[in-house]
Structures are given as C-alpha cells and as structure tokens.
Chain A
Amino acid sequence: MGEQRLDEQTGQTTTGHSYDGIEELNTPLPRWWLWTFYLTIIWGVGYTIAYPAWPLISGATSGLLGYATRGEVAEDIAAHEASNAALVEQLVAADLTEVASGTDLHRYGIARGGAVFRAQCSQCHGSGAAGAIGYPNLLDNDWLWGGTVEEIAYTVQHGIRNETDFDAHYSQMPAFGEFWVRTEIEQVADYVLSLSTGTPIEDGADLYLDNCAACHGDNGEGMRDVGAPNLSDAIWLYGGDRDTVIESISNARFGVMPAWGQRLSEEDVRAVSLYVHALGGGE
C-alpha cells in the first residue's frame, strides 16, 4: 500500500495501490453497491441457515424451513394422485368393456397401464409387448385364454398355471414322449405342421384326432377354455419348425404366469388390461 496522492494529470486522487510503480486512480464505486455486497453476504448466510446446506459427517444441516427436495417430490406425487383420485375411483368401478376409446378414463387407463406394463410385464413380454419364445406376443390377434378386455383382466388378475392363485388358468398337455415311439411323434408333428397350410396330410391324422383334437380341435383351431393353442394359424408360441413341434409333443409345455392380483392394486390390474387390450390385438 503506497501513499494516496493527487494525480496532477487527471485531477483525481489515487487509491494508494501501487504495483511495480503503476498506480491506480480512485474512481469511487457507489456506496449502495457496497451495501448490496454486504446484503448478499447476509443473505447467503441466512440462506444456508434456512435451507439444507452445511455438510456434516453423515448428511447435512436440514435448515430451519424444513425444506427438502425429496419432500417436494413426495408432495408432487401426492398432489398428482389426489388430482387423479376421481379417475382411479371410476376405473375401479367401471365395466371395462364400456370404457370407450377417446375418453379421459380410457386415456388415463392406457397411460397408467403402460407404466405398470413397463415395470412389471416387460421382463417376459418385452418392452414393446412383442413377447419372446414361450412368452406370448401381446400385439397380435392370437390369444390363448381370450382377448377381450375382461378375459385379459382375468388372466392378469389370476395368472396361468401358478400355485398361488386357486382361480388361475390351468391346463396341462401330456408329454407324449412317454407314450409314443419316435415315428408316431414325427407323424403327428408333420400332420400338425400341415394344418396351417389348409391341406392336411393323411399320415398322423388318426393319432391326432384320437389324442390331440379333444383340446386342439379337429382342425387344429385350438380351445381357449383350456388354453390350447391354435395349431392352424401362422403364430407359434415356441416356434413353428419341425424340431420344435416334435419337442413340444414329446415333452409338452407348461408356461406359467404369476397372479398379478396378489401384487398389484385393482386399479393397476384394470389399467394394464386396458393397455394390453389397446395394443392392437384386443377383441
């Protein structure tokens, strides 16, 4: 800090700051700016007292106002649910077949159901609902246990072949490998594959009619009461090549789906049913 002195050239005083002989002229800052600066400091200190700020060993000071971003999220969620309470009530009370496309209730059901689907169903049925080998594609128009919105809701609620819900869909195909010799199995497989061409072959027809038609139908059209797949269409749950059909006949299949009624709320079951029904295959 040097001496403050009058600079003759400019008529201004210097601040007394001198760096290697270079001096600084005093051009005073407005006093209010200084006050503003002090105010911001006071504000800053007050802010850290009012709001969560100072780090501690585990966590941080919580602030006098009790504000927390997590609490704000909880409030937002609560407010969101409160605003949808009326729709949820309607959804639980509604006859699902009567929920018309384009209504607010339908839109809400689809949106909510989509969220449920992505969280709970997509692990097996895929995020786009296209299914996988052994897990049905929900986009097409082929349904094992029925594709009306109520049938879908029943399947979601009770599931398939599980041991936890007494009302679950249940059926079991015999493993014909235990009864038949290899050539018989191959004959039936060839016959089954020929069903979807529209002109069934003759070999294997008797075996099919005696053993399979009871569930799968005389023409392979399937039977929804027992979840027996349609064998005459273009859709194969486990694959439509000869080896896979032989494997299915030999060992049978036993696809299981949990009873979601035990895990989801009723509105979620109904919402996800509306969602699946509106994916393109709904009946």
Chain B
Amino acid sequence: MIHHFLLPTRYPRALYWMLLFTLMASLSSCGGEGTGSDDSLDSLLEKAEKTAPISKEEKSGDRQSVSPEKVVQKISSTVLERNELKFGFIKLTDCAPIVIAKEKGFFDEVGLQVDVEAQPNWKTLLDRVISGELDGAHMLSGQPIAATIGFGTKAHIITAYTMDQNGNGITVSNAIWEQMQENDSSLKLPQPKHPISANTLRPIVEERKASGQLLKMGMVFPVSTHNYELRYWLAASGIHPGFYTNTDKVGETDAEVLLSVTPPPMMPTVLEAGNIQGYCVGEPWNQQAVAKGIGVPVTTNYDVWKNNPEKVFGVTKKWADENPITHIAVIKALIKAGKWLDSTNSEGDLVNREEACRILAQPNYVGADYDVIKNSMTGFFYFQKSDKRKMPEFNIFFKDHATYPWYSDGIWFLTQMRRWGQITESKPDAWYHETIKKVYRPDIYRLAAAELIQEGELEESEIPPVTTDGYKPATNEFIDGMTYDGRYPVKYLNSMKIGNKDLEASS
C-alpha cells in the first residue's frame, strides 16, 4: 500500500516534459548562434568596408530603379515595449475610462492586451503599482502627489491623464438630516435649495462638542479628494475638521468633527451601524444610502468646487521611463475612451452612458446594480427618494479639456495638504510649482493627443491650446466663493479662515 502510494505514477509524463524542455533549450540556443555569435558586429563592419561599394550607375543598369522617396521612411519607433499590461481599479463608477478602453476595444486598437483587476483598497492599489505588480492604476488625484512628496508610502508616481471631474457626494444619516432640518426649516421642502452648506450642521457639532461626544464622519483615504472636500465643506461653515501634525497622523488635532478612513463599500454599512454620522464618498455609495433609506446626500462636490479633478491614471516614474511608447499608447486609448463616454448627440444628450452602465455593472467591474449605476452616470442624482434632480455634469470624463493634467488642479491638492498639515513645514510658491511638474506630465498627454489628431480621432480644439502654461484661469466656483488661482498657492492658503497659513514671499 505505502509502496504504491509513494511511487510517482506520472513518471513517464515527467520524462516527456524534461525531453521537451531540453529540446526547446537546444532550439533556442541554435537560434542564438545563427544570428551572430560567430559574426560579431565589428567583424561584420570590417567585412563591409573591405568589399568595394558598387557604384550607383552600375547597379541601376541591371535593376529596376526605385525612387529614393519611397525608400526613405521615418524610422518607426512604434514598437511597444510591452503589449500585455495589468491595470488596477477600485469599484467606483469613475474607473469607467479604463474599463471602457478595454471593453470598447480602444486598447486593442493601439495593440495592447490589458487585464484590469479590482483592488481591495487604495493603499493596496498604490503598493501594488509601486511594487510593479500593476503597470498602472485608477488613482485618487492626491495619491501620486502624496507618494511623490513622501506623505504615506514614498515613491515617484506620475500622471499624464485625469480620469474625470466631480462624482462625489456628502451623505449624512437620517437623524442628522432631521436635526439639520430643525435648524433650517427651508430644508424641509421636498426639493430644498442647493447648495446646502454645513451652516445647519454647526449647531449640531457644537451641541455634540459640549456633550463631549464629537460628531464622526467617514472619508475614504487620507489623501483622497473626499477628505479635502469634506474638510472644505465643513471649514467653509466654520467647523474645524482637525489638523495633521508631526505626531498626529490621523488628523484629529483641534478637530470638532472626527474624520476616519472607511473603505467606500463599507460606508453605508458603517453609517447604518451608527459608527459614523456622515460620509463623503464616490458613486454608487451615495445612491445606495438613498436606495436603502439610511441617509441623505446633502451636497455633491460639484457644489463644493465646481468641476474639480477627481481621479487620475497613475504609473510609476520608473515604469514610464522604461516604457515610454507603451505609456503614450495607453494614454491614447484612455483619451478615446473619455471622448466616447462624453460623446453627445445634437441635442446635447450623452449617448453612450447607458451602454457604459451595462458594462460597468458586470461583476468583474463595478458590479453594482445597473439601475443604481445608471442614476448618476446618466445625469440624475437622487438626494432623497422624493428629490430626484438632473445633474448632467455629475461625472465629466472628457468635456472642457477635463482629461488634461492641469498643474493648477494638482497644486490645489498640495495647498490642501499644507492647509491641513499633511505637509508639516511651510513651503514657498516655487516649491509648489516645482513639485507638481514632477508629477503632472502634460507633455506625455500632448504626445498622445498629437498622434490622435494625426490619425483623425481627435479635434485640435479638444485639447488645450499649445500656448497654455498648464494653469486654469482663477476660479471662485467654490461653495464659499473663495478665489483660487493655482499660480499663487500661498496667497490662496492665507485667504482661508481655518487652516495653516504661510509667509508670503514679497513680490
């Protein structure tokens, strides 16, 4: 019995494999010899010099001549360094450009076979991009910046493509919503006037503070857009969301509201359990709260900062340097996907969004129910069951140069990192500009866009003019009406009531 069990029964097969391996090894070594182990480059060059060159006249006599124009070709540099790639994403509707580029064949068109893999959380996603397990990923705008300056995991990450604008919401629990309604009875209307500021939340915060039980809210990651937006919304109404300091990496120093990290899919569950009283998260998790009747989205980041950058496509600098042509090909496919997502008919309706929702609803992508994804993606948003509003710009994937990596967008995140103390020491304006130029790479975007324009896939007007310096014009479309000009970050910081302030360089 033992004897029988211990003897490998697949003995002949093992032999067969070994044979095959030897065969293959010998074959490959043969190939190597054929191309040039004997003839070294130098000896070949020597040989060529020795043989007298045949004169043009002589040759043209016996062969049909070919016009030189036809022969002269640009050295084609389009061999992709890699054609099988793996990208990571988090299950949120704004991963759409990557998914669409794969499913609609835009990656195929540039010769790439791309595997897209859902990641459990933002930290793992970033770690796997850094370690090289993933070639690139759907990232929070703040992630490449924070990684590059070394807040959290340090690694040089760059981005040449902004995946979308807007797309988040701030949801509070039913109980808090009722108290907010008590504080301002106009909120009791079936369709209250927007934007809703945190003014009505302030009395609740103060009451909680007096009772020693601070209000708790959830956001998805320390350097996420959500964290900064939630803080901005609170601070705009004079509620202090807390500082990060050298010793406090959770960001709760001086806080009147405690913000904690919760993974997006867990938000509704945690809210229902009462561990937090509100959260800021991307779709479909605000609509889920409405569908389940556990919370009320009070505002979207469209109101906090109109057309704010949300996610980017990030790769490591190392990867980008090793695979420049592949990188451009990827950006090309993504630009096409963004354009496809935002294409409209003559009446201005988004025509491809329903198909996109069907694709995103597949279990290996976002996987939420088609109906839930459809809400925000096709331009509607439920604030309450009785309050459905049109929000055509809830997700912008391409329109108005949304995919271009604007320096000013990145600098806003740097200012917020400084404002809340994630950047612990004061920095001059020049530092902001220098840092962002390391991370945001419009040059790569332009190379990809130029190729697309040449191929007739893109209009000249669909990318920002070459003359732009990469900064958007100053805007005051914030919930508190403050003006932001990316060219003067320190001045912007100092204009804020709550938050760290720095010395302005006198100019």
Bind each other = no
List the interface of chain B (C-beta within 8 A of A): none
